[in-house]
């Protein structure tokens, strides 16, 4: 029999003393492991233990987003170089012809690099968002699957991902930042401008039209460059908020009385 005079905890739900991880009812004097009184309230729903992969995914996503920004910066520099070369050539400067070849070579390099970085960033972001949403069951309007899949569905991808990210902010108990809509508009408009540039380039049959395509492309790259650091803040803010949420450890375990 125990001789400890420490007051016993009040009746309530606590982590089970058997180490199973489930909750058990403590009636104020002893454990009720197999039978819970009818008057006892329903067991509270505790948030799941944090997924240990989320901080690593968040770090990888932030690094890749910064690399993506650097690639966009390099692309802008290459495009401005190309615009200068094309403008000189159209102005009658024959010495600019070798510069056009150099521009084509640089464009090939940054295009391949940009594609690889974009794919890597997209994969890491989607996995990160899926696992974060899975940690917040019932707190967002859509399932974790929709948080991942909505990025790839035409038309839906124009507004579902923004709503989903907004839901994550609210689900972790934080106020959605005012700049979140700025990030999303930069992303959507930047992608639209780059698609317009690609279409103009595809059907261009003269250097004058190529010049227009290159100029439009620079505008799109600038918008995407501006969106990159805000995307870093999205990942960082949601991850920190998620990890700061109270978990099951907030329910103090109680040892059974002998």
> Is pLDDT at 38 greater than 80 in this prediction?
no
Q: How far is CA 15 from the centre of its chain?
A: 33
In a domain, 13, yes or no: no
> Angle, nearest 10°, between helix axes 53-90 and 207-243?
160
- Contact yes or no for 135/50 (Cβ under 8 A): yes
Residue 144 predicted with pLDDT over 90: yes
Tell me, yes or no, whether 239 lies in a domain.
yes
pLDDT for 10 equals 78
- Judge whether 10 lies within some domain: no
Q: Which two tokens stand for residue 244?
A: 């700061």
Phi, psi (deg, nearest 5) at residue 4: -70, 125
What's the pLDDT score for residue 54?
95
The enclosing H or E element of 220 equals helix 207-243
Does pLDDT of 164 surpass 50? yes
Whether residue 236 is contained in a domain is answered as yes
Quote the mean pLDDT of the chain. Answer: 87
The answer to whether position 29 is within a domain reads no
pLDDT digits (tens, 9 = 90+) for 197-219: 999 999 988 999 999 999 999 99
Determine contact, residues 85/100, Cβ cutoff 8 Å: yes
182 within a domain of the structure (yes/no): yes
Taking residues 19-42, report their average pLDDT.
69
Give residue-wise pLDDT tens across range 41-92.
666 655 566 788 999 999 999 999 999 999 999 999 999 999 999 999 999 9
Does any domain span residue 215? yes
Q: What is the pLDDT of residues 111-136, one digit of tens each?
A: 999 999 999 999 999 999 999 999 99
Does 94 score more than 90 pLDDT?
A: no
With 60 as the cut, is the pLDDT of residue 258 above it?
no
Q: How many domains does the chain have?
A: 1
For residue 152, the enclosing domain spans 53-243
Counting Cβ atoms within 10 Å, is residue 78 exposed (0-12), middle (13-18) or buried (19+)?
Answer: buried
pTM of the predicted structure, to 2 decimals: 0.78
Answer yes or no: is 129 within a domain.
yes
Exposed e or buried b for every residue in 179-201, given b needs 16+ CB within 10 A?
A: ebeebbebbbebbebbeebeebe
CB contact set of 24 (below 8 Å; sequence gap of 6+)? 13, 14, 15, 16, 17, 18, 31, 32, 33
Q: Tell me the CA distances in angstroms from 173 to 22, 131, 181, one per residue in order.
A: 25, 17, 19
């Amino acid at each position: 029999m125990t001789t400890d005079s420490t007051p016993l905890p009040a009746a309530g739900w606590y982590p089970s003393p058997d180490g199973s991880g489930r909750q058990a009812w403590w009636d104020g004097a002893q454990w009720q492991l197999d039978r819970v009184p009818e008057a006892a309230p329903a067991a509270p729903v505790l948030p799941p233990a944090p997924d240990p992969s989320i901080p690593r995914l968040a770090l990888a996503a932030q690094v890749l987003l910064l690399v993506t920004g650097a690639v966009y910066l390099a692309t802008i520099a290459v495009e401005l170089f190309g615009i200068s070369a094309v403008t000189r050539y159209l102005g009658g400067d024959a010495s600019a012809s070798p510069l056009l070849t150099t521009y084509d070579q640089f464009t090939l390099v940054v295009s391949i690099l940009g594609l690889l970085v974009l794919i890597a960033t997209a994969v890491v972001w989607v996995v990160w968002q899926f696992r974060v949403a899975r940690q917040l069951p019932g707190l967002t309007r859509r399932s974790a699957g929709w948080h991942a899949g909505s990025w790839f569905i035409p038309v839906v991808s124009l507004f579902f991902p923004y709503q989903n990210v907004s839901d994550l902010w609210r689900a972790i108990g934080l106020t959605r930042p005012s700049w979140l809509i700025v990030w999303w508009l930069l992303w959507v408009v930047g992608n639209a401008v780059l698609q317009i540039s690609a279409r103009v380039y595809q059907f261009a049959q003269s250097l004058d039209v190529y010049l227009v395509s290159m100029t439009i492309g620079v505008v799109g790259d600038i918008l995407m460059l501006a969106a990159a650091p805000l995307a870093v803040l999205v990942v960082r803010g949601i991850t920190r908020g998620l990890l700061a949420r109270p978990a099951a450890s907030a329910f103090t375990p109680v040892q059974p009385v002998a």
